[in-house]
């Protein structure tokens, strides 16, 4: 957390991974999620403290700060080792994928999810092209950890 932002905005991890939430700001922040079985609340803390959480279930975990409504992040928790984050130009590589037919999924916070089927050969590589469209994205104000609207004014 720096400059009233979670950085990076999206991280992908495997089930059982621990994510650190260091606060690099001199003000209080909170990291919490109400995402199903991955819900957590790290309470308030400020620099130089850090909080962490171990994610035990696969899924998309939306993370927020209970004080600053503009702060949001997503932890994508996967139950297999074949995942990654795309480069700035949208390219990515997944190594050591076993030969066979697989469903390749791509997801973006504003563009949703798309899938395609790929046939991975026993030797060599395969390429695929996926397209996501974020043009219909509309930001929706989330609730605080108590399910209520954020108070106006920033006390921290």
Q: Report all structural domains of the chain as residue ranges with CATH numbers, in order of start.
A: 1-79 (2.60.40.420), 88-143 (no CATH)
Q: What is the mean pLDDT of the chain?
A: 92
Rounded CA separation 107/10 (Å): 11
Does an H or E element contain 10, and which?
strand 10-14
pLDDT, tens only, 37-87: 999 999 999 999 999 999 999 999 999 999 999 999 999 999 999 998 899
Long-range Cβ contacts of 139-143 (<8 Å, 24+ apart): 141/69, 142/62, 142/64, 142/69, 142/72
What is the pTM (predicted TM-score) of this model? 0.87
């Amino acid at each position: 957390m720096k400059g009233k932002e979670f950085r990076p905005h999206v991280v992908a991890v495997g089930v059982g991974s621990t994510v650190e939430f260091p606060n690099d700001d001199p003000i209080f922040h909170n990291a919490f999620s109400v995402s199903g079985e991955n819900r957590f609340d790290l309470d308030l803390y400020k620099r130089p403290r850090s909080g962490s959480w171990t994610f035990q279930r696969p899924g998309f975990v939306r993370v927020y700060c209970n004080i600053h409504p503009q702060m949001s992040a997503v932890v994508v928790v996967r139950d297999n080792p074949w995942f990654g984050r795309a480069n700035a130009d949208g390219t990515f590589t997944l190594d050591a994928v076993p030969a066979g037919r697989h469903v390749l999924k791509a997801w973006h916070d504003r563009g949703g999810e798309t899938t395609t089927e790929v046939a991975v050969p026993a030797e060599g590589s395969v390429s695929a092209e996926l397209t996501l469209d974020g043009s219909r994205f509309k930001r929706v104000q989330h609730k605080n950890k108590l399910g209520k609207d954020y108070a106006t004014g920033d006390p921290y």
